[in-house]
Amino acid sequence: MSDTIIPLTTKKDWTSDQEVRWCPGCGDYGILQAVQMLMPDLGVKPENTVFVSGIGCSSRFPYYMNTYGLHSIHGRAPAIATGIKTARPDLDVWVVTGDGDGLSIGGNHLIHALRRNVKLTILMFNNRIYGLTKGQYSPTSELGKVTKSTPFGSIDPPFNPLSVALGAEAGFVARTHDLDRKHMMETLRAAHDHPGAAFVEIFQNCNVFNDAAFEDITGRERREEMLINLRHGEPVRFGAGGRHGVVMGSDGQLRMVEVDDVGEDALLVHDIHRSDPSLAFALARLSHDDHSPTPIGIFRQVERPEYSGAMSRQVIQASEKKGPGDLAALLRSNGTWTVN
């Protein structure tokens, strides 16, 4: 069989024999199901796929995928995944992290993986709380959040994960949520197929320590009015019959309006391929709080030079002495030791 032929697989082929050990009702179950159902359609092999995680509830993910996987240390998943991808550019590498793992101790590693544009598919489960360590506030917890570590309410302004990713010049930035499997799978497919670093924030419910954190926007009866589903090349509309929309004012600010008041021609047309990230950034900041209409979907998708492939080419060039240096001579130069 040719190496270019990918044998057909099913969800079962991607599901490990490990007992799934999240709290009953956790949003992680829905994300796991979506990923396991998506993998057979991606044209990749389980033996060529690696899931890397840090520490936290989300970081149990590699145990449940029948692939190679690494449950690493707190916040370091993007760094370890970068090492794997640069050493083996042929592998399909995913990173699974949480808002605490990825934006607190791991924030530095995350932004540099995105800045370098390493071909990683990064999934950030955002439940706005530390779940594994029993309910402390996280970098995305809202102001005033009362937790075990903030008994008088959090005074830390929260991170907006999409703003962080866009500020790091990520080429692909998207948001989905754990209650819509179809939307999750569409978003994750696009992220995986992007030829560079892809960052997906997933609103995920922690029903033990932060239950219903996103209920006002993701609840079944509220989604139509509260979720602004971004579609490339289409006017930004939402609500029953698309009666609400988004416009850009003369001051450059985005505002939500009634379409009947301004006309469809005045609406902002979504462009995921716009090289300037400022519009995607403005859309990421459009929602004022957890109780106002919130955009989901792909915010930005632009191509940039990819890191692991470029590094591999440099190594090959140096190894074959086609460049200005001699890699073999460098490795065997003074300052090295032979250990018997």
Identify whether 242 is part of a domain: no
What's the total number of domains in the chain?
1
> pTM (2 decimals)?
0.92
Closest CA to 177 of 129, 212, 130: 212
Which structural domain range is residue 159 located in? 11-213
**pLDDT, tens digit (0-9, with 9 covering 90-100), for 207-250:** 999 999 999 999 999 999 999 999 999 999 999 999 999 999 98
**pLDDT, tens digit (0-9, with 9 covering 90-100), for 273-326:** 999 999 999 999 999 887 899 999 999 999 999 998 888 888 787 777 666 667
From CA 133, how far away is CA 142, in angstroms rounded?
A: 18
Write phi, then psi, for 252 (nearest 5 degrees).
Answer: 85, 0
CATH number of the domain enclosing 136: 3.40.50.970
Identify whether 208 is part of a domain: yes
Which amino acid type is present at position 90? Answer: D
Identify whether 305 is part of a domain: no
Res. 34: pLDDT tops 50: yes
**pLDDT, tens digit (0-9, with 9 covering 90-100), for 49-99:** 999 999 999 999 999 999 999 999 999 999 999 999 999 999 999 999 999
**Long-range contact list for 179-182, CB < 8 A, 24+ apart?**
179/27, 179/30, 179/205, 179/218, 179/220, 180/218, 180/223, 181/30, 181/33, 181/34, 181/37
Please give the span between the terminal C-alpha atoms of the chain, in angstroms, as a whole number: 42
% the chain with pLDDT above 70:
95
SS (H, E, C) 111-155: HHHHHHCCCCEEEEEECCCECCCCCECCCCCCCCCCCCCCCCCCC
Q: What is the layout of strands, in order, in the sheet containing 244-248?
A: 237-238, 244-248, 254-258
Identify whether 34 is part of a domain: yes
Taking all residues of the chain, what is their mean pLDDT, rounded to a whole number? 93
**pLDDT, tens digit (0-9, with 9 covering 90-100), for 81-93:** 999 999 999 999 9
Between strands 172-177 and 121-126, the pairing is unpaired
Mean pLDDT of 28-53: 97
From CA 248, how far away is CA 233, in angstroms rounded?
A: 16
Identify whether 271 is part of a domain: no
**pLDDT, tens digit (0-9, with 9 covering 90-100), for 152-172:** 999 999 999 999 999 999 999
Helix axes 77-87, 307-319, angle to 10 degrees: 40
Res. 252: pLDDT tops 50: yes
Identify whether 179 is part of a domain: yes
Residue where the block lists tokens 């902002």 = 268
Identify whether 296 is part of a domain: no
Identify whether 164 is part of a domain: yes
